[in-house]
Amino acid sequence: MTAAFRPRPSVVRRDSGLYAYERALARRGLTPIAGVDEAGRGACAGPLVVAAVVLRRPIDGLGDSKLLTAAVRERLYEQIMASSEVGLVVIPPAEIDARGLHKCNVSGMRRAVARLTCDLEYVLTDGFPVPGLPCPSLAVWKGDQVAACMAAASIVAKVTRDRMMISLDAEFPMYGFAEHKGYVTPGHRTALATYGPCPHHRYSFVTVAREMGENEMGAGVA
């Protein structure tokens, strides 16, 4: 297991541009660099999707996927997939319920990095450290807003997951998955209260568990 490592003596300012981390690492000879991020962590339905991306060339317009429009994300997704190396992991709700969200997230990041075929020199992970990576790594707070490779990973993860949720909407139209992508909204709560959860909900999440309990109580009274 390789310990987390921050190259010395560089200090990377968060306002130095989206490629500042990559430039600082490259000056130390640490390339290629992978950025890792996820989509769906806070949702109560649908999978957790984790992406690891090594950018082979600069891509204009990268940023935190949540701050971009759907049309811009789709355009950037196509550019990233055409010119970068990508490792992708999809973790279904049943696995999240069985193992817990955080364990699945950490494991998913390791698995996404393992699917990259290049010999990495460094990995940037979003939010929290990930032990067991094949090279030195650094956890970056809101990394998808300050590192280009992490922004690219966030876009790949979100576009992949959004497409999956839109497909699920065709199978379960009563929940509105195409609109809220499995996150908790008033409309989603109403659908859960009316229809109960479907197999793609995360039963261990409090919003879903509460509705399951109330539906069971109602059925018992009836």
- pLDDT tens digits, one per residue of 66-81: 899 999 999 999 999 9
For 176-202, how does the pLDDT look when each residue is reduced to its tens digit (9 = 90+)? 999 999 999 999 999 999 999 999 999
User: What residues contact residue 183 under an 8 Å CB cut-off, 6+ apart?
Assistant: 42, 43, 44
Mean pLDDT value across the chain: 90
Low-confidence winner among 9-23, 39-53, 66-80 (lowest mean pLDDT): 9-23
The structure's pTM equals: 0.89
The neighbour count for residue 34, using CB atoms within 10 Å, is 32
**Structure letter (DSSP) for residue 19:** T
Residues of 87-102 as b/e, b for ≥16 C-beta within 10 angstroms? bbbbbebebbbeeebe
